[in-house]
Amino acid sequence: MSDKIKDVLSWRSLLVIAVIYLVIVRILRYHNLRRINQRYGQFTANANSLDYKSAHEIMKLGLLYEFPFMWGFGTQWALVKSYGIANGTKLLVQTRQLTDEKTVGKRAEDTGVFLGEILVMGVDSERGMRALAKMNWLHRRYGAKITNGDLIHTLALFILESQRWIDAYEWRKLTDLEKVASFVYWKEIGNRMGIKNIPDTLDELKTWTVAYEKDHMFYTDDNKACVDATVNLFLRKTPQFLHGAVRTATAAFLEPYARPSLGVQDPPYWVEQFVHISFRIRAFLVRHTFLPRIESPFRTVQGSDGRLHRRQYLFEPWYVQETWRSRLSSILGLSSGPHPGPKFKSDGFLPEELGPLKYEHVANKAVALEVEQLNEYCLRGGAAGTGCPFAFHG
């Protein structure tokens, strides 16, 4: 057989393999959506009748397997957008947990861990209840400085911003059932945080959010300080010569109406288009060339002592276990970033220890008591069983 014929057959074989692969991707790409429709199709006609446990299962499929990147990305920018509410940023600047470069990294990592324990493990799990109880304890320390309206607004942004980003830039849009499931589960979280008067439906929440932002979203220097501190954190792993370009690009991640209250200037038109096209290209590639995810990206490992270790981090390796590779990298200077070690609690974490280091252990008894109360609340069926948020917050 001539070399020319062999080359033709080789190219044909590669083409056949590529076509088979793309067909498999197309068949499997919607597997999780079909699972949702098969299991929870009875709620399609009336999504608002979802119970929070079913809502959690629906939400987890999207969060962990369908859109983990864009969900996380949207949640990060939901937090930035929340800095347009002056009352909240005033407190953040006063506590310096966000604006001090020594603490901002841990605060960001802890936020991710809190969300992982509550959203992935679930509010009815022991770990989820311990994390939620510690978060409630931290919030209560500031009393009336955190208003009920501010809490609803932040809750709304966690729901609405991730949905907005997924619908705009993921490989498929969320279904109405998935959107309502996210709302139902987040509302249950809000109930367990003691937040009052949360709107009853997703549409009502959207209307409430627009009205609240109209009255409470305006510029202050504290707003800009919080935005700058967050963007500086994002830039830590970016080469210095790219900082200006990245700062300009980040403005495109915020809606035009929100920029003035955050002290953010409108980016050039071409930058917005570049961001839009880049995300759309990603969506096309994911939809047509990526197989569905079979492993959750949000994973923690529990040691024999019960402490939990993270496998991934964004800015600083808090709670990441030391390995021979990380030690070697640190010794040889193979990476300019921080390395896992005692400074970053490489021995792991317990949910009740999350938050500022000065509050690592002082809340243990209070958290244990609240976990008991949360468990009783869970056994009564959550908000659906009690008819109102639990009443042990004071």
- Single-letter amino acid, residue 358: K
pTM metric for this prediction:
0.91
Q: What is the DSSP letter of 344?
A: G
Clarify whether residues 88 and 117 are in a common domain.
yes
Contact 107, 101 (CB under 8 A): no
Clarify whether residues 324 and 220 are in a common domain.
no
Residues in Cβ contact with 345 at an 8 Å cutoff, skipping those fewer than 6 apart: 318, 319
* pLDDT band for position 2 (cuts 50, 70, 90): low
Q: How many domains does the chain have?
A: 2
* pLDDT band for position 297 (cuts 50, 70, 90): confident
Clarify whether residues 115 and 260 are in a common domain.
yes
Residue 326 lies in a domain: yes
Clarify whether residues 58 and 199 are in a common domain.
yes
Clarify whether residues 61 and 148 are in a common domain.
yes
Clarify whether residues 320 and 185 are in a common domain.
no
Clarify whether residues 287 and 314 are in a common domain.
no
Clarify whether residues 195 and 218 are in a common domain.
yes
Q: What is the DSSP string of 229-279?
A: HHHHHHGGGS-GGGHHHHHHHHHTTS-TTTHHHHT-PPPPHHHHHHHHHHH
- Average pLDDT of 147-169? 97
Q: How many Cα atoms sit within 13 Å of 51 on the Cβ side?
A: 8
- Average pLDDT of 240-259? 94
Give 286-292's long-range contacts (Cβ < 8 A, gap of 24+).
Answer: 286/170, 286/171, 287/29, 287/171, 287/172, 288/22, 288/25, 288/26, 289/22, 289/25, 290/25, 290/29, 290/171, 291/24, 291/25, 291/28, 291/29, 292/28, 292/29, 292/31, 292/32, 292/65, 292/66
Residue 263 lies in a domain: yes
- Average pLDDT of 252-271? 96
Clarify whether residues 87 and 140 are in a common domain.
yes
Residue range 31-79, pLDDT digits in tens? 999 999 999 999 988 888 999 999 999 999 988 899 999 999 999 999 9
Residue range 367-391, pLDDT digits in tens? 999 999 999 998 887 655 444 444 4
Clarify whether residues 262 and 318 are in a common domain.
no
Residue 99 lies in a domain: yes
Residue 226 lies in a domain: yes
Clarify whether residues 79 and 148 are in a common domain.
yes
CA angle 220, 222, 225 (to 5 degrees): 120
| The pLDDT of residue 106 is above 50 | yes
Name the more confident of 393 and 196: 196
Clarify whether residues 64 and 105 are in a common domain.
yes
Residue 329 lies in a domain: yes
